[in-house]
Amino acid sequence: MQPASEANQRIARISAHLHPPNFQMEESSGLRRANCRAKGAAPGFKVAILGAAGGIGQPLAMLMKINPLVSVLHLYDVVNTPGVTADISHMDTGAVVRGFLGQPQLEEALAGMDLVIIPAGVPRKPGMTRDDLFNINAGIVRTLCEGIVKSCPKAIVNLISNPVNSTVPIAAEVFKRAGTYCPKRLLGVTMLDVVRANTFVAEVLGLDPREVDVPVIGGHAGVTILPLLSQVKPPCSFTPQEIDQLTLRIQNGGTEVVEAKAGTGSATLSMAYAAVKFADACLRGLRGDAGIVECAYVASQVTELPFFASKVRLGRTGAEEVLPLGPLNEYERAGLEKAKQELAESIQKGVSFIKK
């Protein structure tokens, strides 16, 4: 390229940011803003966040922009994505960021993605029943999964939208109907339960939380969350009273945050952190790293239920192996029966939503 024309190209890039076209008209502009982004660093993976302008979505998008395994980051939401995209795109990390606004742009947002993270939906607000929450979020998840079917049916999907115990079965039914369902590629994110368990157990033991590993099985709500305190690493023992209190605190971690925020929101920052920790594990699995094991809510045969959260080995195709639960003590076996009862209802509710 001649020096003069190269200089003109550079000036055009700068002026495209100084005088940005209307976001929704972006496609027709002579120089698309997406192409003005700095070149990405080393080759990595293409990741989309659906619900990127929300309470979880924004910190999640920021943390994924920092992740060196991400080369392209697509941010989608039905409101406010232009602002979030502009803001995050100024960070001097390798991932190239593009924003997408509203349902007409959903399929383009998803085209060619390797990993799709879905925090979209509404948090539970005062006066809202669980049924209200379910009906709104179930519809949102269905629409987004229909977009995945069309644009990136082979992508790994990390589903965060609550209630996860029901939304994962909903996503599975959408994919089954379309003939694109692969159980390994659909993972409900329960990592926040593990993160909380590691933190709370570390507090009791006086350890650094990064040195603690607590398996959490079952589901992602109330009594379906079952920390296996008999399998904590490093090996340790707790009194019956400690086990009761730790289990209760881990199960009610979400309520603890909702009450502390006094009506202004729910767990968004710790959820974004946990989501990124899990997404990073999925990307390392995609890259071919060995020995990547995390807890997730997946199609499973470790119990008689069709979906269950337990340790899975992550690899190039997603959850490549669902690991056995290991030995449970009497307290945990009783907890498992309680968890299964509630989980069965939640799973059926999700399946019925699509089949009705």
- Residues annotated as part of the active site: 220
32 forms beta bridges with none
Residue 11, helix vs strand vs coil: helix
47 forms beta bridges with 73, 115
Query: Pick from 269, 235, 275, 239: which is nearest to 254 by CA?
Result: 269
Query: Pick from 168, 67, 62: which is nearest to 114 by CA?
Result: 67
Q: How far apart are CA 295 and CA 299, in angstroms?
A: 13
Q: How far is CA 78 from CA 23, 29, 69, 207, in A?
A: 13, 22, 27, 43
Query: Pick from 199, 184, 170, 314: which is nearest to 267 by CA?
Result: 199
Residue 29: which residues within 8 A CB-CB, separation 6 or more? 16, 21
DSSP 206: T
Q: Left (φ > 0), alpha (ψ -120 to 50) or beta: where does 288 sit?
A: left
